[in-house]
Amino acid sequence: MSQLFYVMTIPGLETLAFNEIRTRISEAELVKFARGIALFKASASPGNLLELHTVEDVFFSLAHIRGLGHGRDALRVLHSATLNADILQGLALWRRTSGGRPAKTWRVVSQKAGTHDFRRIDAGQAVVAALQKAMPRGMRLVKDDADVEIWLWLSGSEALIGLRLSDATMRHRRYKQEHLPASLRPTIGAAMSWLAHPTPQDIVLDPLCGAGTIIIERALLAPFAQAMGGDIRTEAVAMARRNARAAKVAASWNVWDARSLPLEEASVTRIMTNLPFGKQIGSHETNVELYTLLAREFRRVLTPDGLLVALTSEDRLLNMILQDAGWRINKKVVLVVLGLPASIFVAEPA
Ligand SMILES: C[S@@+](CC[C@H](N)C(=O)[O-])C[C@H]1O[C@@H](n2cnc3c(N)ncnc32)[C@H](O)[C@@H]1O
């Protein structure tokens, strides 16, 4: 039987996440995209959905409301939609993803974008009031650390109420033992890996690897021949090594200067990297020089049929430098990283 699910993604990665859903669950049928959301029908087992790499959270949809009215009317609609939702089906799916353990506690999380003539807290309260009637008797409402979370998402006149099937380990991953400032969200690393058209023959390089997220995500996504990461800072390389060990990923890790890599010409088939944004690390001025030298060095070590996938918030700068250095830009995905607009460039040597 087909049911309604939705995933939450980093804003900008919705269509890419739905591509991943379609390759894993071929009958999945898109209902709609919203900012950071893909809503779809599928008869998927929730276990399959929790294996997605490019999404932050997975929800069983309890209600999808369009044309939400105003004031008390809107709150009444939220209340009755929750009351009529198939909570028991949602709880049964939750139990399957949680190893059969019974849910004892619940809470409501509400998010609101746009202007409304009611407060976020009132909308959340309308859902809570309905759930107090609809939840099984043995379950208790708590403030934090609930077993089951019901999320209310409101954007203009549209609302989604969903039972969260994933937990924080989906977005943060279990391997991430240590974080660095400017460390990348794993789902972005997975999205970059996806955009790099993975093949089992790939020799993958992240020349500015930080805590190693991109290489690890690439390795977890699909088979590859060889993977290498490196960074100018010894402590970053040590961290990448520890994270890779925790993820059971075999890759080589090196301390180096990415402007002059100890690698042969045309020796790697994929370069995937998160360039310094010039905010937490470096500045726009240092980036002008750094990006110029990197574009040249990346071209040297990449095979002529190879691909570069690079993330930056310096869209205009990278665009100009790649073109000047003889790259063809195939695709650009615009997303939001730590509140900043950023772009993932997919480029090949022209
Ligand atoms: C934006 S961070 C990368 C974050 C990484 N993707 C992660 O998830 O942790 C940029 C990294 O580039 C490194 N870096 C800066 N200049 C470098 C250079 N010339 N050679 C190698 N690494 C460099 C920094 O030390 C930093 O770890």
- Are 178 and 120 in the same domain? no
What's the chain's length in residues?
350
Q: What would you report as the CA-atom Rg of the chain, rounded to the nearest whole angstrom? A: 22
**CA-nearest residue, atom 26 of ligand 1:** 210
Residue 297, classed as helix, strand or coil, is: helix
Looking from the CA of residue 258, the nearest atom of ligand 1 is 20
Query: How many whole angstroms from 231 Cα to the centroid of ligand 1?
Result: 6
- Candidates 90, 164, 163, 87; CA nearest to 130 is 87
Q: What is the DSSP letter of 267?
A: -
User: Would you tell me how many other CB atoms lie within 10 Å of the CB of residue 234?
Assistant: 9
Q: Which two tokens stand for residue 313?
A: 């918030």
- Are 156 and 201 in the same domain? no
Torsions phi, psi of 34, nearest 5? -135, 175
- Pocket test residue of 232, 249, 296, 343 for ligand 1, highest count of atoms within 8 A of CB: 232
Query: How many whole angstroms from 207 Cα to the centroid of ligand 1?
Result: 8
Q: Please state, in angstroms and rounded to a whole number, the distance separating the CA atoms of residues 299 and 350.
A: 10
**CA-nearest residue, atom 5 of ligand 1:** 210
Of 145, 171, 197, which closes a domain?
171
- Are 183 and 40 in the same domain? no
- Are 242 and 144 in the same domain? no
CATH of the domain at 147: 3.30.2130.30
Domain that holds residue 26: 3-171
- Are 208 and 256 in the same domain? yes
Query: How many whole angstroms from 209 Cα to the centroid of ligand 1?
Result: 5
Of 171, 202, 224, which closes a domain?
171
Query: How many whole angstroms from 211 Cα to the centroid of ligand 1?
Result: 9
Looking from the CA of residue 184, the nearest atom of ligand 1 is 8
Per residue of the chain (350 residues), give pLDDT as tens.
789 999 999 999 999 999 999 999 989 999 999 999 999 999 877 778 999 999 999 999 999 999 999 999 999 999 999 999 999 999 999 999 888 888 999 999 999 999 999 999 999 999 999 999 999 999 999 999 999 999 999 999 999 999 999 998 898 888 877 666 667 999 999 999 999 999 999 999 999 999 999 999 999 999 999 999 999 999 999 999 999 999 999 999 999 999 999 999 999 999 999 999 887 767 888 999 999 999 999 999 999 999 999 999 999 999 999 999 999 999 999 999 988 899 999 999 99
Residue type (1 letter), 64: H
- Are 214 and 265 in the same domain? yes
CA 243-248-251 angle, 5° bins? 75
- Are 327 and 184 in the same domain? yes
Environment class of residue 87 by beta-carbon count within 10 Å: exposed (0-12), middle (13-18) or buried (19+)?
buried
Residue 195, classed as helix, strand or coil, is: helix
State how far the alpha carbon of 227 is from the alpha carbons of 9, 43, 104, 166, 279, in Å.
26, 36, 44, 29, 28
Looking from the CA of residue 206, the nearest atom of ligand 1 is 6
Domains in the chain: how many in total? 2
Of 171, 203, 231, which closes a domain?
171
CATH of the domain at 344: 3.40.50.150
- Are 245 and 166 in the same domain? no
Do 312 and 346 meet the contact criterion of CB atoms below 8 Å apart?
Answer: no
- Are 246 and 342 in the same domain? yes
- Pocket test residue of 178, 206, 231 for ligand 1, highest count of atoms within 8 A of CB: 231
